[in-house]
Structure 1
Amino acid sequence: MAVPIFRASIPKSHPLIHSISSALSLTDETWKKKRLLSCSAASSELKPFRPELCFSVGTYLIPHPNKVEKGGEDAFFVSSYNGGVLAVADGVSGWAEQDVDPSLFPKELMTNASNFVGDVEVNNDPRILIGKAHAYTSSIGSATVMIAMLERDGILKIANVGDCGLRVIREGKIKFSTSPQEHYFDCPYQLSSEIVGQTYQDAMVSNVEMMEGDTIVMGSDGLFDNVFDHEIVSTVAGYRDVAETAKVLANLANNHSLDSNFDSPYSMEARSKGFEPPLWKKILGMKLTGTAYPVLYYDDKAPLFVDLLADLSGKPDDITVIVGQVVSL
């Protein structure tokens, strides 16, 4: 995902309050211990016939092939707070045109979100959590973001700004799917360090009633641009371990993104929005292909970057996958 919705002048120096690794994940053993702690306390407020629910989580991140050295521009965290919190942010790579590291903003945003998970003002509301994390983020840049918070009674609260995605899978079918927020094709809503841009108030909010055994697949657009929903469902069905499932899905997305013969969800959407392959490719019977280079467009406010279509059917990108299985104590 590489489309900033504005260009801005950048000060010579800008303080970074916090930094975060590209993969704020917990080791399997640490997560298991934290998950048990998360699920262990009984609540007198819940109905006695319904067990408390929480997440068992697996994560995997594969950086863009050209960004391996710095770990990519995605960031995420998982928390055992309440029934579990899952969050991912995807940095806007167009900031590199302004000599700004696009990974700093999403990393700090996720650090702040993880710090404010249990804040009284947040009150288990992922939209408010996004707003508070954004308010305390001082890095230059922008990012799409999604946060999902599971209540012990099984209600999943989701807040999304942009084109990160989430699927709820139950008994081999997709029960719920988020929709991307876009200004137009390949230009998603995004939180920003600048005045121009979206805020937590623009977040799309959803509540889903979860059941034991449900699986959540959540990730940056690098997953959903390269893997079809039916492939996600079949992968979830084929693996019981959430860590293994996350790894398999990430590798599948990565392989598709580099496959010149794969007609990806991204390229299919591009065609549906009116993008066409060059004439010489039509003559040779070749199909529309994936993204490669930025082309400058203008509107009445600011220049916009749009990724046009070039050499690959998939879409090379940072790929973050979070798989959460709903379990009871």
Structure 2
Amino acid sequence: MKFSTLLQKNFYPFFGPREISSFAKRQLRTSSPFLSTSTFHIDARLTKSPLFPFPYTIYRSSNKTSKPQCSKINKCQEVSTIEHIPSSHSVLDFLDKPFSTPRNSLALIHGASGVEKHTDKFISTINDDKYFSISCGEDSFFRRHDSLGVADGVGSWRNVDSLIANSALYSRKLMHYAYTELEKYTDIKDINPTEIMQASYEQTIRDCTLEGIVGSSTALIAVLRDDELRITNIGDCGICIIRHNSIIFRNEEQQHSFNYPFQLGIFSYDKPKDSQEFKIKIQKGDIIILGSDGIFDNLFEEDILEEIAMSQRSSLKVDPQVISDSLAWRAKAASEDINNISPFQSRAMHEGLYYQGGKRDDISVLVAIVA
């Protein structure tokens, strides 16, 4: 609330000219260490305000300086003199500055769901004591009030017998360190999700080298700053933004060839600098869907929109957890249906490959509503 509004609502009915003058002096002394009661006053003889029925004059600082004053640590500072300026505007215009507010005016209300490919049970989305990320098979993800991330560990490392392969741990560390990097930022305006991914990648490589573990993972990080969603993606994780029941943004997969995505790992030539970057203007009420390829390989865009519409009809309010649960369950059912025409099947046929039905995979989905 602005100072003028606060003063008018809470103080003006009880203030007279003398009290207003005293109050203004205190405000100026607070905002400027070099002003004192001897250098500021309100003269009730010259001008009038539509808000305050008594006349006044405002005095303010000029660029002229007087003798320097020295502090206790013997550092001299120039002290401004006071310049007389008659004013026909309210004294509150001079004092009126909004109180400090958080930089982000928008935030994310989120839900998350995950189903491993070898089970029909939802995973727990409660963080344990060791990691800030959640594990879902070889998928991992994190969520905050201002950012979301998902990683999909590359499962083909299981076929390498001579190495200690653990893509599930690799992806979990990647998302864990992304979360901890985001926690370090106090100046949130200048944050770059690609730099977050780079720092997370370096720490994950360090850990896996020390522990003798190999693995690789795709990854996607989205960070909300004011009304802008900043996205960095490497590989085949997906994100879409829905506004008024229409998809206004959907990223494309990064593939070296069919089913061979870009990925971050010890033996991979791909690096965070190779990732896609997007900046999308968003609005209050937008719905963000973010997930591993287990969602987007099994559900078309119209399937996602239909599931969101059904979730909204069954509830008086839009609940991100209800939407994420329904999307995860529908993708799980589609992945096990051999007669289902899936996006993965369509892409395989486009490459001249025979494939039928959905794709069995770990399924991780995060849903956030901009509020």
The alignment's TM-score, normalised by the length of structure 2, stands at: 0.62
Alignment of structure 1 residues 30-49 onto 2, 5 Å: 42-43=101-102
Q: Distance in 1 between matches of 2:158 and 2:193?
A: 29
Q: Distance in 2 between matches of 1:160 and 1:269?
A: 20
Q: Which amino acid aligns with 2:216?
A: S
Aligned to 1:187: 260
State whether residues 126 and 148 of structure 1, in contact with CA within 8 Å, keep that contact through their aligned partners in structure 2: yes
Per-residue deviation, residues 258-294 of structure 1 (Å, max 9, x unmatched): 011101110011111121x3xxxxxxxxxx31xxxxx
Relative to structure 1, the CA distance from residue 267 to residue 97 in structure 2 (aligned partners, 3 Å threshold; closer, same or farther) is same
Alignment of structure 1 residues 235-314 onto 2, 5 Å: 235-239=307-311, 240-275=318-353, 277=354, 288-289=355-356, 313-314=357-358
The answer for unaligned runs of 5 or more in structure 2 is 1-99, 124-134, 209-213, 312-317
Aligned to 1:222: 294
Q: Which amino acid aligns with 2:308?
A: V
Deviation at 1:71, TM superposition (A): 4.5
Instruction: For residue 116 of structure 1, give the secondary structure of its aligned residue in structure 2.
Output: helix
Instruction: For residue 305 of structure 2, give the secondary structure of its aligned residue in structure 1.
Output: helix
Aligned to 1:74: 139
Deviation at 1:168, TM superposition (A): 0.3
Is 1:171 the counterpart of 2:244 in the alignment? yes
Q: Distance in 2 between matches of 1:117 and 1:67?
A: 33
Q: Distance in 2 between matches of 1:198 and 1:162?
A: 10
CA RMSD, 1 decimal = 2.1
Structure 1 residue runs of 4+, over 2 Å off? 66-71, 118-123
Instruction: For residue 182 of structure 2, give the secondary structure of its aligned residue in structure 1.
Output: coil
Deviation at 1:112, TM superposition (A): 0.7
Q: Which amino acid aligns with 2:264?
A: L
Larger relative contact order, structure 1 or 2 (CA cutoff 8 Å, min sep 6) = 1
Deviation at 1:205, TM superposition (A): 0.1
Alignment of structure 1 residues 194-233 onto 2, 5 Å: 194=267, 196-233=268-305
Deviation at 1:220, TM superposition (A): 0.1
Aligned pairs, how many? Answer: 242
Name whichever structure is richer in helix by fraction.
Answer: 2
State whether residues 256 and 314 of structure 1, in contact with CA within 8 Å, keep that contact through their aligned partners in structure 2: yes
State whether residues 136 and 364 of structure 2, in contact with CA within 8 Å, keep that contact through their aligned partners in structure 1: no
Per-residue deviation, residues 116-166 of structure 1 (Å, max 9, x unmatched): 003359942111100000000022210000000001x21000000000000
Deviation at 1:66, TM superposition (A): 6.8
Q: Distance in 1 between matches of 2:307 and 2:338?
A: 22
Q: Which amino acid aligns with 1:144?
A: T
Relative to structure 1, the CA distance from residue 324 to residue 200 in structure 2 (aligned partners, 3 Å threshold; closer, same or farther) is same
Aligned to 1:300: none
Q: Distance in 2 between matches of 1:95 and 1:228?
A: 28
Instruction: For residue 65 of structure 1, give the secondary structure of its aligned residue in structure 2.
Output: coil
Q: Distance in 1 between matches of 2:136 and 2:149?
A: 17
Relative to structure 1, the CA distance from residue 61 to residue 202 in structure 2 (aligned partners, 3 Å threshold; closer, same or farther) is same
Is 1:86 the counterpart of 2:184 in the alignment? no
The alignment's TM-score, normalised by the length of structure 1, stands at: 0.70
Aligned to 2:41: none
Q: Distance in 2 between matches of 1:190 and 1:119?
A: 25
Aligned to 2:233: 160
State whether residues 118 and 124 of structure 1, in contact with CA within 8 Å, keep that contact through their aligned partners in structure 2: no
Residue of 142, 166, 191 corresponding to 1:124: 191
Deviation at 1:237, TM superposition (A): 2.2
Q: Distance in 2 between matches of 1:156 and 1:231?
A: 24
Instruction: Give the structure with higher Rg (CA).
Output: 2
Deviation at 1:91, TM superposition (A): 0.3
Deviation at 1:67, TM superposition (A): 11
